[in-house]
Structures are given as C-alpha cells and as structure tokens.
Amino acid sequence: MFTNLNRESNDQNTFDAIVIGSGISGGWAAKELCEKGLKTLVLERGRNVVHNKDYPTATKNPWELPDRGRLPADYLKENPLISKAAGIGADNDHFFVRDKDHPYVQEKPFDWIRGYQVGGKSITWGRACQRWSEYEFTAPKRYGYGIEWPIGYKDVAPWYSHVEEFIGVCGNKDGIDAMPDGEFLPPFDFNCIEDHLQKSIQQNFKDRHMVRARWAHLTQPKDIHLQQGRGKCQARNLCMRGCPFGGYFSSVSSTLPWAEKTGHLTIRPDSVVHSIIYDEQLGKASGVRIIDANTKEEKVYFARIIFLNASALNSNLVLLNSKSNRFPNGLGNDSGLLGKYAAFHNYRASLNAAIDGFEDHYYKGRNPTDSIIANYRNLKERDTDYVGGFTTFVGAYRTNWLGKGLQSDEIGQELKENVTIPGGWRVYMYMQGETIPKETNHVRLSETEKDQWGIPLLVTSIDYDDNDEKMVKDFIEQSTLMLEKAGCKDITHYDSHQAPGLDIHEMGGCRMGKDPKTSLLNEWNQLHHCKNVFVTDGACMTSTGNQSPSILYMALTARAANYAAAEMKKGRL
C-alpha cells in the first residue's frame, strides 16, 4: 500500500492535484478528488501507517504493556508538552510527536499537540460529530464579535449528510435547533444515571437538551462501511491505539484506502512541505516544494490544484513560508491577515459528583462516547454577559472497589469478595466553549530560529480573554445547578487554567469571508488571490462555534473538492 512514490522524472512528479496532509480533512480531499478521476498526490510529513498492520498495541492486555501503559518517568521528563495530551499513554505514544522533533516558539503558553504519520490525528481524535447550526454561522455578525461567514448551514447541510453516511455516525434524531439532526446509525444508549439526568434536565430546564452521543462509531455498519473493510464498534474504548475492527472513522481505515481503490492515489510519507510554489507568469500556484524527512533532499511536485490540509497551524506555517515577488508576506496574503485571528476551544472547566442509589444497575462494555447537552446560551438572542456558547459533555460511571473505601483489615477471601463489588455512581461534565478570534491572537514565522529542515519555526501568540473567564464561570454555575436538581451530592468543580492548544482544536489564521480585505478564503475555501489553492482544514475557520469541528472540516473539504473538480472540468482551474 502507498508504494508509488513518483520520485524520478518531472513527468512522474506531475499530478492533477496535490493534497498536503493525510489526516481528517486531507483524507477526504484525496477520496473526493480521486473519485472524480484526478491523479492525486498526498504529501505527509510523517511516517507511513497502514490500517491494522501498524497498530502494535491494539489488542494488548494491560499486563502486556510496560507499567500497565503508564508513561515512564524519562518520557515525561523529555516530553513535558506532549505528555499533557488527552488520552496519551505508553500504548499510543507512537502516534504523537515528541517535543524535540518539531519545536516551536511559545511567545505565550500554547500546547500544540501533533501527530505526524499517515492518518495524522484522525487515529487519535475524540470522534464527536455534532453539526453546526445556523446560529453558529450567524452569531459573529449578529453579536458583533467577528466577520460574516460567506456560507450558512444550508450550504453545508448536504455535505454533512454526504460525510456522515460514509464515515458512520451514531446518534438520535432529537429535533434540536442548536444541534441539527444528521444521517445516524443507532446510538449508544444511556446508562441508568444518564437516563435519570436527561429526565431531570428536561423537567427542570425547558431550554436544555441532553442527547445520546453523536460519535463517529459504527454501532450498526451499513453496506458502505462493509465495503471499506470496517466492522462494528466493539465498545472496547481503546480507540486511540488504532482500531483493528475499523469501528471508528480514521483516514487510514476509510478515506485513504477508498481513494487508493480508484487507482488515482499516490501517497508520499516522510515529506516535509517547505512551501507552495507560485508561478508569476501563470498567476497561480504550480506545485509544492518538499524536503525528504530522512535524506533532507529537496524535491518539487507539480499540479493544477493544491489542497492544503496540514492541520491549522501547520497550514498557516506553509502559507507564511510560501513567499514570492507577488506574495512577499506569504501566499495569498494581500490583506496582511495571514496567521491572525487564530482561535481554539475552551476546555478549562469540569465537574464531578456522586449520586446515591441505582446500585442494582450496571452497564455492558466500555462506552467510547460521551452524552451531550446542546448549547443553550446566546442562541436566538444574547442572554449572557459574554458572547458565544458551549457544548457540555456529560456521562456517568460506577466506581471500582477502591471507590467504596478499602478497610485496612480486609485481607484474603474478604478482600477478594469486596474487589468484585462495584462502588457507587459518579457523574461528570466538562465544557467545550467557543472563543473569540482576535487579531492579537496569531501565529507567525520566527525571524531567527529554524527547524532541522531549515524551515522557520512557528511562533504562537494566543491567549484567553475576559469573555472566556465569564463563560467558564457561567458553565460551572449552570452545570452545578443541573447536577443539584438531579439529586447529585459532593459536587466539585475544577478550572484547569490550562494553556490554549491542549483542546487540540486550533482554528483560524486563514479564515473564510466575503471581503478579500478582511479574509483569505472565499466561500469555496479558495485563496482570494490564488484560486487554485484550497484550504479546508481548521485554518479556514471564521469563528470557532462550540461543537467539535472535525466533521465540519470534512464537509467543507468534500464540498470544496467537488467544486474544484467541476471547475477543472470546465477549464477554469
């Protein structure tokens, strides 16, 4: 798989399309372009990963892992940044970038979590798949905290459906304006406490809706999923090791193998993209310059269209480093806004509580999903002292025997019997909050420092603001109230004050918009001033919304790729 590297002549280095990045959005660009018959090259800076073949820990038991999966002390010492990543352990650290392997400059604290391999972070993503509603597309303009999106929900809705049907998203049709329904497989059901919470919230808060998880898991595969070679989710909750069943969506289990079946796909791993080449005479981009990660040899590949899907901050880096006489400040950067208005999601606040009763109930399997309380803030009108909204993730679980309190005199048979008895129930909630894109929150190239491939390091200068603080406070207050109404006790709340970036939802820097003076991309994700370059990953985001963004990236990518293929057929690209 992925052996045709086309490293020889210029003819072999010429394609119809080049896709930079092989993750969530890059895989979708490859699938759509290849299906349209375009000879497509995917460039990935990391190593090759093949579905199933390269999941070394997927079926290991805890006792088969060193320290039962805990990261060793020397790893933590050498990797203080990446070891903060949610879900990282000795069973999956091979899918995360070591701190020393790609440094960057933190002008303000920013935890940049990266995964460099074929498949990118699609192997380790959270898999939540809520659709944006029209509220999110219109809120920045309505409330005056951002520019107008050049598209709305109706433009993206059919592409959401297109993506959902292919990747497989479980969920329920709940009829909630703030979180539109999609093309769903059967959901994971609530456990008894989650069912109790939903009924309590419905009874006490008429404007709030707790729903079953909308997650990219095959609870009941359809023919299209079986054709991909994927099978039913086994509820192991070991997703971030890579799933041998293909139970959750990743580009290595789904879109890339599908693209390969067309015969039009070439993937070149170990290809660090230096820049996009702009042809002054043609007035458009002509190709991509890469540096071989192993040999440090420079190569150039040519194509009629280029899709930039390197993940938000790396896509900004590539564009900023793509300088020419026409674009001395970075490709398409006439507005001077490239790298600015970077944003993220606010994950700082969480709560945990106990709830009595229900001890005659348990659950089957390890549910890999969280239930969701749809955003209920600032929808039809502004109803808080801040702008934006938040998704609330919620779930319940039974504690283990330690949660019951181990008595010091318990030994032998008494201890063994107590180990088999579960503890009580606990409930958790955590936030995923919208943040305001601001010009001061930006990334740029270092003027003095370069990486091991001679490319300028990225400088991150991104921070929270007063709006974020007010949202955290409101989330904690409202979530506490919901838990109290449900009869929870011993409620504790926590503000991690974690640096931006640890949410792994970095966005912006190359935002979409109607006016080239205030944006970089048009309604089709094309650079305003270089129409054969498309940016469809998180860099394109005009605002952040509160829903998990990956499925929107996929929908925007599919939409743009089909548009690009049609424009090529008409001879316009």
Distance, CA of 35 to CA of 565 (rounded, Å): 10
Mean pLDDT over residues 506-524, rounded? 98
With cut-offs at 50, 70 and 90, classify the pLDDT of residue 423: confident
CB burial string 474-513: b at 16+ within 10 A, e below: bbbebbbebbeebebeebebeeeeebbbbbbbbbbbbbbb
Q: In what order do the strands lie in the sheet with 340-343?
A: 105-106, 456-461, 442-450, 340-343, 507-509
Whether residue 148 lies inside any domain: the answer is no
Q: Average pLDDT in the 366-377 region?
A: 97
- The mean predicted confidence, pLDDT, of the chain is 95
Characterize 237-273 residue by residue with b for buried, 16 or more Cβ atoms within 10 angstroms of its Cβ, and e for exposed.
Answer: ebbbbbbbbbbbbbbbbbbbbbbbebebbbbbbbbbb
The model's pLDDT over 528-544, given as tens digits with 9 standing for 90+, comes to: 999 999 999 999 999 99
Q: Can you tell me the mean pLDDT for 243-264?
A: 98
DSSP 70: P
Candidates 300, 321, 257, 311; CA nearest to 21 is 311
State the total domains in the chain.
1
| Assigned domain for 207 exists | yes
Residue 22 located in a structural domain: no
pLDDT in tens, 77-113: 999 999 999 999 999 999 999 999 999 999 999 999 9
- C-beta of residue 271 within 8 angstroms of C-beta of residue 297: no
- Quick: pLDDT tens for 387-398: 999 999 999 999
Residue 445: strand pairing partners: 458
Q: Is 49 exposed, middle or buried (0-12, 13-18, 19+ CB in 10 A)?
A: buried
Residue 465, CA atoms < 13 Å, CB-side half-sphere: 18
**pLDDT score of 522 more than 50:** yes
What pLDDT, on a 0 to 100 scale, did the predictor assign at position 400? Answer: 76
pLDDT at 5: 38
- pTM passes above 0.85: yes
Query: Which DSSP category does 123 fall into?
Result: G
C-alpha span between 471 and 99 (Å, rounded): 31
Helices (H) and strands (E) in the chain, counts: 11, 21
Distance, CA of 168 to CA of 53 (rounded, Å): 22
Residue 50 CA, chain-centre distance (Å), reads 20
Both tokens of 107, joined, read 């002008």
Cα-based distances in Å from 125 to 120, 197, 384, 503, 504:
9, 27, 31, 11, 9
Query: Of 64-73, 287-296, 349-358, which gets the smallest average pLDDT?
Result: 64-73
CA distance 21 to 43: 6
Do 313 and 456 touch, CB atoms closer than 8 A? no
Q: Which is nearest to 97 in space by CA: 56, 47, 57?
A: 47
Residue 472 near residue 118, CB atoms below 8 Å = no
Whether residue 39 lies inside any domain: the answer is no
Q: Identify whether 400 is part of a domain.
A: yes
Lowest mean pLDDT among 368-382, 407-421, 485-499, 510-524: 407-421
Secondary structure (3-state) at 430: strand
The answer to whether residue 394 is domain-embedded is yes
CA atoms within 13 A on the CB side of 570: 7
Would you call 141 exposed, middle or buried from its count of C-beta atoms within 10 A (0-12, 13-18, 19+)?
Answer: middle
The tokens describing 240, both together, are 């971030």
Closest CA to 512 of 546, 535, 531, 545: 535
Write down the pLDDT at residue 402.
Answer: 59
Domain that includes residue 352, residue range = 196-212+347-433+464-499
pLDDT attached to residue 403: 54
Q: For residue 214, give both structure tokens.
A: 């909308």
CB atoms within 10 A of CB 358: 16
Partnered with residue 54 across adjacent β-strands are none
Q: How far is CA 106 from the centre of its chain?
A: 21
Segment 542-571, tens digit of pLDDT: 999 999 999 999 999 999 999 999 999 999
User: For residue 35, is it within any domain?
Assistant: no
CA 218 remoteness from chain centre? 18
Nearest to residue 539, comparing CAs of 15, 16, 21, 167?
Answer: 21
Q: Residue 461 is encoded by which pair of tokens?
A: 């200068």
- Distance between CA atoms of 123 and 52, rounded to whole angstroms? 11
Q: Which of 560, 561, 573 is nearest to 284 (CA)?
A: 573
d(CA 513, CA 536): 13
Query: What pLDDT, on the 0 to 100 scale, is given for residue 420?
Result: 78
What is the rounded CA–CA span in Å between residue 194 and residue 206? 17
The structure tokens listed for 332 are: 């398409």
Q: Find where tokens 């979590």 sit.
A: 113
Binning pLDDT at 50, 70 and 90, where does residue 3 land? Answer: very low
**Local confidence band at 294 (pLDDT 50, 70, 90 cut-offs):** very high
For 77, half-sphere exposure in the C-beta direction (CA atoms, 13 angstrom radius) is 3
Average of per-residue pLDDT across 286-298: 97
Q: Which residues of 88-118 are buried (b: 16+ CB within 10 A; e: fewer)?
A: bbbbbbbbbbbeeebbbbbeeebbbbbbbbb
Handedness of CA 527, 529, 530, 532 (dihedral sign): positive
pLDDT, residue 1, reads 35
Confidence of residue 401 (pLDDT cuts 50, 70, 90): low
Flag whether 277 is in a domain. Answer: no
Q: What is the pLDDT of residue 4?
A: 40
